[in-house]
Amino acid sequence: MAGATETATWEEMLRRMLPPGTAIPEGAAGNLDYSIALEYDGPPVAYEVPRIAPVDMADVPTAEPVSASYGLLGNGGAAVPVAPVFRPPASRARAEPPQARRGAGPADSGPRDEASRPATRARQEPPSPVQVRRSSEFAHSGPQNEGYSDSDDDSRRSVSRESAPSYQGQSDGGRHAMAAPEGRRSHVVTFGLADDSKYDQSSELDDTRSEQFVAVTRTEKRGKTCHRCGKRKWESKESCIVCDKRYCGYCLLRAMGSMPEGRKCITCIGRPIYEGKRSKLGKSSRILSRLLSSLEVRQILKAEKECQANQLRPEQLIVNGFPLCQEEMSDLLSCPRPPQNLKPGRYWYDKESGLWGKEGEKPNRVVSTNLNFNGKIQPNASNGNTQVYMNGREITSIERKILRFAQVQCPRDTHFWVYHDGGYEEEGQNNIKGKIWESPLTRFVCTLVSLPVPPANSVEPRDDAPYSARTVPEYLDQKRIQKLLILGSPGAGTSTIFKQAKLLYGSRFTPEELDNIKLMIQSNMFKYLGILLEGRERFEEEALAIPNNPNSEDGDTQQDGNESSGLNSCIYSINAKLKKFSDWLLDIIAMGDLDAFFPAATREYAPVVDELWKHPAIQATYKRKDELYFLPDVAEYFLSRAIEVSSNEYEPSEKDVLYAEGVSQGNGLAFIDFTLDERNPMSELYGDSHDPSSQAQNKYQLIRVNAKGLNEGCKWVEMFEDVRAVIFSVALSDYDQLGAPASGNSRRLENKMIQSRDLFEATIRHPSFRDTPFVLVLNKFDIFEEKIGRSPLTACEWFSDFDPLRTHNNQSMAQQAFFYVAMKFKNLYAEHTGDRKLFVWQARARDGPTVDEAFRYIREVLRWEDEKEYGGFCPDESFYSTTELSSSRLVEQDWQQHPAADQRQGST
Ligand SMILES: Nc1nc2c(ncn2[C@@H]2O[C@H](COP(=O)(O)OP(=O)(O)OP(=O)(O)O)[C@@H](O)[C@H]2O)c(=O)[nH]1
Ligand SMILES: [Mg+2]
């Protein structure tokens, strides 16, 4: 837009400002840093504040350049022509009557109006950026005559000196005295650089934007200060869907009136909305429901959603490279299966299959087929690189994975035709080979990875046949279900939380699921047995390796002669024990007396480890006893009921299901859909009345990815970019535990808390989650509480600076330690995400209610996130950033006493 004319204008302006004859610096128009007027955003002031009016540079009188004949010393000292002193017209602009500003008709114009015309014009028309800059430029250059100083402060002061008195002087008998718009604070001018990238994004709105939008920045204070009264209140704000100005409950109706087009300032009525708000059109907010009756709210929201001014314009939609015309857009929106949540942008559309997606991306919806658009689909529409083509489009790798999953042969250079029902054939073969999305499993996997599928019993209107209704399976209705992804390192409790969700909100386990869990429990039991036997073998190897090979490659076990022989004798004695132990194992197995075997095996195992650990050489090698012993606690729970558990008739109890490690035998991906009722301690505190539309918001899909899938380079994770929140579970009790390294060749065990931290770090940095809120669940608080007294938190090197207050009991020590750990994670998160808040909750996942409360907290987080984005409620920093947590009931009490205070941290 900044073409040659603009440059010329700048040059012209500079020329007028510089002393006559001065050369304009090269490239000045492009490089000079021009300050821009900003609207004052601080607390209200008691006095009327002057305005700076735009200046028409054409009206600035300038002197002709001194001609050569006036040479400095020449011409016998004849007077050099001087321009008259220029008086800034700011006061005239101020004195403009309100009507004139709103666009007075010709009847109003008289000689007086004539006199103020330049300023009036500048106010009436949306000024170009150049005009706005001119005004601010003038604010700097004007006072120059009176000893202009460089500092902002000074310049501001000189502006007031200059313009305030003249405003008083010209108030013209009160008729022209400009009252601030009804009840509104006047604007004050400050100086700085406008930086409004948000507005830059939607350049199509630029031309309609008034001077306010160019000059006002959306600063960090967004959300806290009311635009009208300027007060910073700790309460919800509602924002204008056009200009995003926020208003408190007191000012909202005054600023927005009856809202015929929804939430718009009166001055924004008729203007197109800010596109970032499109997805929120028609969604209710606390503040509206508080101020108006539910019927009124409904009407306003309906108008907001449906009125003409707020609709997309066809040219905002570019499909297959061409902007739509009105007719094409109507066809698209009125077809039986239109795209959802349409926003302005570039899309591709495959007419044969109905697949629809954003340009350069995988498909995200199946819309009706056979819509005719000007543009035809291009091979690179979705930016695929698979050399597999579907109706002419090169598909993306995730689509190819699904094809393979559905057992569709698709080597390179395959060209398919795919039809509305998923039927496919190779190009030129005229032979439908099958239907891609026929199997429920394929459909399920598609939804998990957010690929669209056609409705199950799709009957597509070919040749304009009347459209028949279809049923879309519930879980395909992705719009209404909010996906929550739960992750964590091994043993952190993700499966337990998942199973709790199932028990709390879901249906009971089906017989198949129970069968699966039973198999899982049984195979876990054999895994524990495997560990026992492996341990025995390992000790035997230890024993054999050293005497036979004193210079063995394992440097850690090299010992000097004395120690070595000491170790040998020790190991021999252990070996004898082990021999006895293994003979005994074999006997028991031979007799089939497993009931005796399992408990005995675990019982016998520990003393062997103890024995080994006594020796200094072993200690030097392994550093920690845990490295010799990693049978999970839960092993004993199941091993002690070995016969019962391993029999065919075994039926896992609810407790067994919860205690078992894992979700299913394969233990990969698992998901569950559930709904939460409205009961919530927090929303009650805020006096919420949730409208029925929020019910739909309460549907969730919890997806659990096992730790292994994560460790393999987070491969799965990429498929979950549309999750609403990531729940990351960490076992608090891991701080003094060691675990096998997730990857790499090192056999050295690592601190499990550090492992969790590293995984957490990798996850928050993952591009798929750049904008996704994270909720950290600090789990296993029960074990933590129990052991914190005997095993210091500093056992984990990351917590080495933990310096608790002295306490008399484990409970308060555990709370202190919990806060400390929470803050460590919060700081880490803030570091990586540019100061975003990490939400933390404390849980004991074996304990149902703590998981229930965790999910209610997560739901609340999602609402905060929604409202934060849409213009509302933003809980006070103190509890948002430092202490939201935690052991629910405890917090609940604190909250009731000190809703916004930082009390919880203090209480520890
Ligand atoms: N005491 C106690 N045990 C817990 C808690 N949460 C989980 N557990 C137990 O810890 C063990 C491991 O929990 P899981 O839920 O299987 O851990 P996970 O994160 O799924 O681990 P992977 O399956 O390896 O990914 C199970 O025996 C659980 O019953 C808790 O808060 N307190
Ligand atoms: Mg598990």
Q: What is the pLDDT of residues 252-281, one digit of tens each?
A: 988 998 898 999 999 999 898 988 888 788
The reply to whether 166 sits in an annotated binding site is no
> What distance in Å separates the CA atoms of residue 285 and residue 111, rounded to the nearest whole number?
50
What spacing in Å lies between the alpha carbon of 494 and ligand 1's midpoint? 7
492 CB within 6 A, ligand 1 = yes
The rounded distance, in Å, linking the Cα atoms of 272 and 309 is 6
Q: Is 781 annotated as a binding residue?
A: yes
> Is the separation of the CB atoms in 528 and 534 below 8 Å?
no
**pLDDT tens by residue, 41-86:** 555 555 555 454 454 555 444 444 443 333 333 333 334 444 444 3
pLDDT of residue 605: 63
495 is in an annotated binding site: yes
pLDDT, position 162? 34
**For position 26, what pLDDT does the model report?**
54
- Look up residue 884 and give its two tokens: 């939201």
Q: Which of 485, 494, 496 to mutate to test the pocket of ligand 1 (most atoms within 8 A of CB)?
A: 496
Is residue 706 in contact with ligand 1, taking CB distance under 6 Å? yes
Q: Is 691 annotated as a binding residue?
A: no
For atom 15 of ligand 1, the residue with the nearest CA is 493
Q: Are 225 and 246 in contact (CB under 8 A)?
A: yes
837 Cβ contact partners less than 8 Å away, ≥ 6 residues apart: 826, 829, 830, 880, 881
Pocket residue to mutate for ligand 1, from 846, 851, 853, 887, most atoms within 8 A of Cβ? 846
CA of 786 to the centre of ligand 2 (A): 22
Place of tokens 């089939």: 592
Residue nearest to atom 21 of ligand 1 (CA): 491
Distance from residue 376's CA to the centre of ligand 1 (Å): 53
Cα separation, 872 vs 247, whole angstroms: 9
What does the alpha-carbon distance between residue 268 and residue 256 come to, in Å, rounded to a whole number? 9
How far away, in angstroms, is 473 Cα from ligand 2 center?
Answer: 29
The verdict on the CB of residue 496 being under 6 Å from ligand 1 is yes
Q: What count of residues does the chain have?
A: 908
Task: For ligand 1, say whether the CB of 491 is within 6 Å of any of its atoms.
Answer: yes
C-beta atoms surrounding 295 within 10 Å: 8
Q: How far does residue 406's CA lie from ligand 1's centre (Å)? A: 34
- Label residue 353 exposed, middle or buried (CB < 10 Å: 0-12, 13-18, 19+): buried
**What ligand has the least distance to the C-alpha of 632?**
1
Whether 120 lines ligand 1, by a CB cut-off of 6 Å, is: no
Q: What is the distance in A from the centroid of ligand 2 to the CA of 477? A: 29
Q: How far is the CA of 324 from the centre of ligand 1 (A)?
A: 54
- The answer to whether the annotation marks 782 as part of a ligand binding site is yes
Q: Tell me whether residue 845 is annotated as binding.
A: yes
How many CA within 13 A on the CB side of residue 681? 18
- Measured distance CA(782)–CA(825) in Å, rounded: 20
The residues pairing with 348 across neighbouring beta strands, listed in sequence order, are: 357
pLDDT value, residue 888: 34
Q: How close is the Cα of 837 to the center of ligand 1, in Å?
A: 26
Strands 774-779 and 725-731: parallel
Model confidence pLDDT, tens digit, residues 853-897: 999 999 888 888 877 665 444 443 333 333 334 333 333 333 322
- Report CA(492)–ligand 2 centroid distance (Å): 8
| Ligand 1 atom 23: residue of nearest CA | 662
Instruction: Give the integer Cα–Cα distance in Å for 689 and 236.
Output: 14
Q: Whose CA is nearest to atom 8 of ligand 1?
A: 493
- 637 CB within 6 A, ligand 1: no
- The CA distance from 355 to 420, in Å, is 9
The sign one gets for the Cα dihedral 429, 430, 434, 435 is: positive
User: Closest ligand 1 atom, CA of 660?
Assistant: 27
Give, in order, the Cα–Cα distances in Å from 65 to each of 19, 60, 396, 627.
8, 15, 66, 89
- Those residues of the chain that have pLDDT short of 50 are 1-3, 27-39, 50, 52-53, 55, 59-221, 460-479, 546-561, 563, 667, 681-696, 871-908
Q: What is the pLDDT of residue 166?
A: 33
* Residue 882 C-alpha from the chain's centroid: 19
Ligand 1 closest atom vs CA 493: 15
Cβ pair 293, 253 in contact under 8 A? no
Number of the ligand 1 atom closest to the C-alpha atom of 494: 19
* Concatenated DSSP letters of 247-281: E-HHHHHHHHTT-BTBS--GGGTTSPPPGGGGGGT
